[in-house]
Amino acid sequence: MALDASALMAPVERGLRPFDELDRLLGGADLVVPGAVLAELDRLADGASEEARAARVGRDLAERCREVETNEENGDDALVALATAGEADYVVTTDRPLRDRLLAAGVTVVETRGRTRLEITDS
């Protein structure tokens, strides 16, 4: 299961506890984060804005996941590449355009339901 920056930033931005919700939905899972997503979080983490604070929290949470490398420099592209190559059964995101792109590629998505819950979507 691969996580997007938006999912890792969700505790600050939405009050969502992604790891608790993933445990509720799927039990234990091998959680991965592409290096491109980590780089995105690092770029967003500078400053004093809420987004920067969310990115710092997301970067800390990403330490609970295994980093994987792809040939993609963009986080969204890296997630799509991982999932379509069969290296991630699910992608966790709160990003609607990424969600739509993944679903169009036949990838199962774990997305928000309301503000603080996750659900599995495959169509």
Entry pTM:
0.93
pLDDT of res. 52: 97
Going along the chain from its start, the domains and CATH numbers come out as 2-121 (3.40.50.1010)
Q: Report d(CA 77, CA 58) in Å as an integer.
A: 19
pLDDT mean by block of 10 residues, the chain; 123 residues: 96 93 88 97 95 97 95 96 94 96 96 89 83
The backbone torsions φ and ψ at residue 34, rounded to the nearest 5 degrees and listed phi first, read: -65, 145
75, 87 contact by CB (below 8 A): no
